[in-house]
Amino acid sequence: MPYEPWQPGMRMTANRLLSISPTWQDWVPVWTTSTGAATPTFGNATILARYAQTATLVVFRLEITFGSTTAFGGGGASDNWRFSLPVTAAGTALIAGSGEAQDSATGGTPSSVRIPLRPRLTGTTTLELEISGGGTGFAGGYAATPTGLIDAATPFTWATTDAIRIRGEYEAAA
């Protein structure tokens, strides 16, 4: 239900209350790339995609644990991954939340490498994920902290049980 700002003389109704009361909902993210080439597919990945909207504020949570039939695309460092937003945004934003990428197979301490991510709204309908600092558990042969936007080859070679977990907020389009 779209948000409508309060105006003089408006009456309190059930629909009006619903428009300003956040309710968590599922959404099905679409996974693409910045060029549209070498598009990845979720396959049997486990996906938790939830959002709530109150007025023009959208709060979201996206957790993906990749499965054995996930295809990561082949675009490499020049073809950044994009995920669709649950609600059209009012504009782009360099920071729209935080999260992590997890490489489960490295066997480091703790048992995996976790790299901080920052969701960026690169359009009004999509977000990309930027590496936003050093990771933990770098026992897996990393020479240095990876940098850049997430893609099929960054920040590591993606595989089954690797994960992306992000949360954030942004302003919805009016």
Write the pLDDT tens digit of every residue in 83-131. 999 999 999 999 999 999 998 875 544 457 888 999 999 999 999 999 9
In a domain, 5, yes or no: no
In a domain, 85, yes or no: yes
**50 near 27, Cβ under 8 Å?**
yes
Report how far residue 100's alpha carbon sits from residue 87's, in angstroms, rounded to the nearest whole number. 22
In a domain, 74, yes or no: yes
In a domain, 141, yes or no: yes
Residue recorded with tokens 């490295």: 106
Of the listed ranges 58-67, 75-84, 99-108, the one predicted with least confidence:
99-108
User: What does the DSSP 8-state code read for residue 153?
Assistant: T
What pLDDT digit, counting tens, does each position of 9-18 carry?
888 888 777 7
pLDDT value, residue 77: 66
What are the residues facing 170 on neighbouring strands? 58
Among residues 125, 148, 53, 132, the alpha carbon closest in space to that of 97 is found at: 132
**Domain enclosing residue 39, as ranges:** 23-171
Residue recorded with tokens 């309710």: 23
What percent helix, strand, coil does the chain show, rounded to 5? 5, 40, 55
For residues 137, 141, 147, 153, the Cα torsion angle rounded to the nearest 10 degrees is -110
Average pLDDT of span 44-65? 95
pTM for the structure as a whole: 0.84
User: What does the DSSP 8-state code read for residue 18?
Assistant: H
In a domain, 17, yes or no: no
In a domain, 108, yes or no: yes
Domain count, the chain: 1
Look up residue 71 and give its two tokens. 């295809």
In a domain, 16, yes or no: no
In a domain, 2, yes or no: no
Average pLDDT of span 47-60? 94
Look up residue 70 and give its two tokens. 């996930």
DSSP sequence for 25-83: EE----EEESSS-S--B-TT-EEEEEEEEETTEEEEEEEEE--TT-B--S-GGGS-EEE
